[in-house]
A and B are shown apart, each in its own frame.
Chain A
Amino acid sequence: MTEVTEAVDNAEHNAQTSTEETEIPTLEFENGLPGFPDVQKFALIHTELAQEPFSIMRCLDADDLEFVVTPPALFFPEYEPVIDDSTVSRLGIESADDVLLLSILTIGDSAAEITANLMAPVVINTKNRKAAQTILNDQELPIDAPLFTESVTSSSQTQG
């Protein structure tokens, strides 16, 4: 991939030496994640490559399992998911202000290929750190919404 430049190599090097800041100590996914039913504990961290508004959701009870996440509202201002009652009750959510909503991103080779899972967001109760990835049924939301519009990415892409 020619887009991987020296700057990225440096950033990767830095990521291993810089201190990683934990935002929320431990997230508890009681029911695991679809595709990964046996993992329950995750931490949100920033790394050299995953800076605001992106975070790494790193699994604490499996080696080498990480997801890139971001608050979807920054990229999809129209996105207003309705979280079902059973998720609200299972996570013990008492106020919408306690909820941190994150979308899992799939990272492609370029910015234009980054997609967000809007169909199944990660819902976190920041009060008790219980979390779940919940499927928004019947809200017709995409599982792979491009994070950036073409106009944004075409101006930032470097073509060799």
Chain B
Amino acid sequence: MPMLVLTRNANQSIMIGHDVVVTVLEVRGDQVRIGIKAPRSVDVHREEVYAALQRANREAAISNEQKLAALANVPRPISKPKLGDTKKP
């Protein structure tokens, strides 16, 4: 996607679509404080956080049960009957 570049001063805004408003609140050195008004249906995230989550989800996605071998013998937080104890309460 091409990038549109706009110059804005503090307290000036940009409209994205009909209902997303991005406002430059404060510029201090390398840091810029930005306010975002968006409808609830629009997710707003810091880009690096979202990218990390995309990576984590792709890594967590399993395409078959093979990777689940590690689950077979994990310690469970729920107490289980001991081996050989076949009686049920």
On A, residues with C-beta under 8 Å from B are 1, 3-4, 7-8, 11-12, 15, 31, 33-36, 47, 49-50, 52-54, 64-68, 74-75, 86, 89-90, 104-111, 113-114, 117, 119-120, 133, 135, 137, 143-144, 147-148, 152-153, 155-156, 158
Contact = CB atoms under 8 A, between A and B. Distances in A.
Given A35-B57, A90-B41, A68 B52 contact: no
If over half of B's interface residues share one DSSP class (helix, strand or loop), that class is named, otherwise mixed; here it is helix
B70 A114 contact: yes
Interface in B50-65: 50, 52-65
B75 interface: yes
B50 A34 contact: yes
B71 A15 contact: no
Contacts of B71: 49-50, 54, 68, 107, 111, 114
Contacts of A54: 71
B55 A74 contact: no
B57 A33 contact: yes
Contact of B72 (A8, A119, A148): A8
B33 interface: no
Given A50-B71, A64-B63, A107-B71, A117 B56 contact: yes
Contacts of A35: 53-58, 61
